[in-house]
Amino acid sequence: MDLNGFEKVVQRYLNGQATDDDLLLIEEWLRRTEGNDYQLTEERKKMVAARLLPRLHAITHPQEVPQTKGLLRHLSKRVVRIAAASIILTLTGSLGWLFRYQLADTISPVALKTIKAGPYEIKKIALPDHTLVTLNTGASISFPVRYRGHNRTATVSGEAYFEVTKDQDKPFIVHTSSLDVTVLGTSFVIGEQRAFATVSVITGRVRVAADEQQLAELQPGLQVRYDKQSGKANLLRIDVQQVTAWTQHSLSFQEAPLEQVLTTIAKQWNVRMILPPVPSGKEFSGDFTSNDSLDDMMSALALATGIKWKQTTAGVISIAYP
């Protein structure tokens, strides 16, 4: 429900048409109005409380349900003000407190942000809690623009390396299409492929589950490999340096057409490549780090594929195939 929807709930109260579900929603929101996305003015709180008084009494004391519909007409303004204040104060009940974040997400959900690495790009991003994530080529991540509640969450497609900011009170949970990974503060690599998914722990501990069934609790140097078809999981020992080697790269190519490699490099360095009209038919496999310059990349391509290149003017590179 967005803010407009919540305003309609409030209006139903003022019109005497609220449902019991509306009552619970308004009660909770009245209690939580301090410092939140949607706030009722003091005047509106009093108006809402005045309308709620007989309904609230009927729910909490069903054996004393009044038979007259005009109960409020018999209440003085002073009683209504006291009732309004009492309702607002009593909304600190434990049940409302336990479900405050779920209700807040229903009324005013936090926006999600999605970031995707390009076809040959290794992308590094920071989440709202300062957790660092490195996305491998083509991977994507969705996460709230701010964290609210007891958990921090993210949803990943593809391969990603997490360096989670430690927070004992707020576990970090990563969802994929098949796995749920829960951590407090650690670093790990999660990979989602078509037939299987893996979680590799670099530091700390993580708990891995699939379909709400725990698969493993991993320590550093261990990987769980989950077969999506059979539902079986295997534990493997790993070389953590090998598992994370790709995170040091900025571009990664595996048997990529030369023209795509040149176009990707041109985009990264904001230059224009003048290519021959006929495709070369060549492919390139290799990785570049963030420390590699444009000259380094072009020289590596020339050595691997035999192309000739020269920078004709500022920001323009001319390519000749062998």
Do 195 and 227 meet the contact criterion of CB atoms below 8 Å apart? yes
Where do you find CATH 3.55.50.30 in the chain?
A: 249-320
d(CA 288, CA 186): 27
Mean pLDDT of the chain: 78
> Rounded to the nearest 10 degrees, how much is the dihedral formed by the CA atoms of 39, 40, 45, 51?
-110
Closest Cα partner for 286 from 255, 242, 244? 255
Pick the CATH number of 112-238 from 2.60.40.1180, 3.40.50.20, 3.40.50.300, 2.60.120.1440: 2.60.120.1440
**Predicted local confidence at residue 187, as pLDDT:** 96
d(CA 152, CA 309): 48
> Where is pLDDT greater, at 168 or 39?
168
89-113 pLDDT, tens digit each: 444 333 344 444 545 555 557 788 9
Report which DSSP code applies to 221.
Answer: T
Kindly state the average pLDDT of the residues 72-76.
42
Pairing of strands 272-274, 316-320: parallel
Do 168 and 150 meet the contact criterion of CB atoms below 8 Å apart? no
Task: Give CA angle at 152 (38, 91), nearest 5°.
Answer: 40
Scan for tokens 């998914």, then name that residue.
197
Where do you find CATH 2.60.120.1440 in the chain?
A: 112-238
CATH number of the 249-320 domain: 3.55.50.30
**Predicted local confidence at residue 100, as pLDDT:** 47
226-261 pLDDT, tens digit each: 999 999 999 999 999 889 988 988 888 888 999 999
- What pTM value is reported for the model? 0.62
Q: Nearest 5°: phi and psi at 57? A: -65, -40
d(CA 251, CA 220): 27
**For residue 23, which amino acid is it?**
L
Sequence-distant (≥ 6) Cβ neighbours of residue 232 within 8 angstroms:
226
**Does residue 166 surpass a pLDDT of 80?**
yes
Do 106 and 91 meet the contact criterion of CB atoms below 8 Å apart? no
